[in-house]
Amino acid sequence: MASSVHRPVWVVTGASSGIGQAIALEAARFATVVAVGRSAARLQPVVRAGCRALELDVTASSEQLAQAVAGIAEREGTIDVLVNAAGYLLEGAAEETSDHELQQLFDTIALGPLRLARSVLPLMRRARAGVIANVAGIGALRGSPNAGPYCAAKAALSTLTEAMHDELAPLGVRVCLVQLGHFRTNFLQPGHRRKVQAHISDYDAVLDPIRAAFDGLNGAQQGDPLKGAQAIVKVLAGPEVPPLLAVGPDVPAAELRAHDQRRAQILAWQHIGGGTDLQG
């Protein structure tokens, strides 16, 4: 009698390009991958590799996302792994950023992943198994001029992921924050690197050098997205999934820089801010 081997079911957002696409392609080697993107046409490269395309905007309502997840579970029988990799860079000063631009950014990077997780978690909790991975990046470590709202959205995703890890570990669901370094994807190219509509010239002296640095970094990143995806998929498919996975040799240095800067600021003003306990 022929034995059937269960192929785990992965759902990967942001699968039409960048690290999300690379993760979908790598996971498709052994898993059933539902590749999620806003455009079915742009998902064709992963479809040709065996993935199943789902045209879905992660900024959709909770009800729409829940309906999409229910459809996947009905077709595939389960969902074993959810990888939230959708995102884009919004450039501009915080003051220049409109409410609409801010809402769209947070819906894509932080709230969309949370809504999707809420939709898959009833399945995973019942099974006492499953993996949720949220892809953040160096931008989550410290706010950067010209990318403050983007960094804030990634920081929100990071802290949400940390809390979810501790909440879900006793239930058998593993949650991982993937801290991504600089990889040579199309992240800094038009379509992923968006500029705010408003312009305040007072900020040009501060922001212009950073914009130029982004231009210089585009296409010059040292990270290989294929190797990065291989590392991510290997860990998420393995027996031990850590709460934090740093991907890229530049991540530890960035972590230490952010830590040292914050520590120096705390110590410099501790003589004022530290003496605030009740006396008794």
Which residues are part of the catalytic machinery? 150
- Cα distance between residue 235 and residue 4, in whole Å: 24
Any idea what the Cα angle at residue 67 is, between residues 176 and 134, rounded to 5°?
15
From its phi and psi, is residue 39 left (phi > 0), alpha (psi between -120 and 50) or beta? beta
Return the exposure string of 150-164: e unless at least 16 CB atoms fall within 10 Å of the residue's CB, then b. Answer: bbbbbbbbbebbeeb
Q: Please compute Rg for the chain using Cα positions.
A: 20
Three-state DSSP at 82 gives: strand
φ, ψ (nearest 5 deg) of residue 146: 80, -10
Alpha helices (H) in the chain, listed in sequence order: 18-27, 44-48, 62-76, 99-106, 112-127, 148-168, 204-217, 225-236, 250-268, 270-273
Three-state DSSP at 244 gives: strand
Tell me the two tokens of residue 226: 């294929």
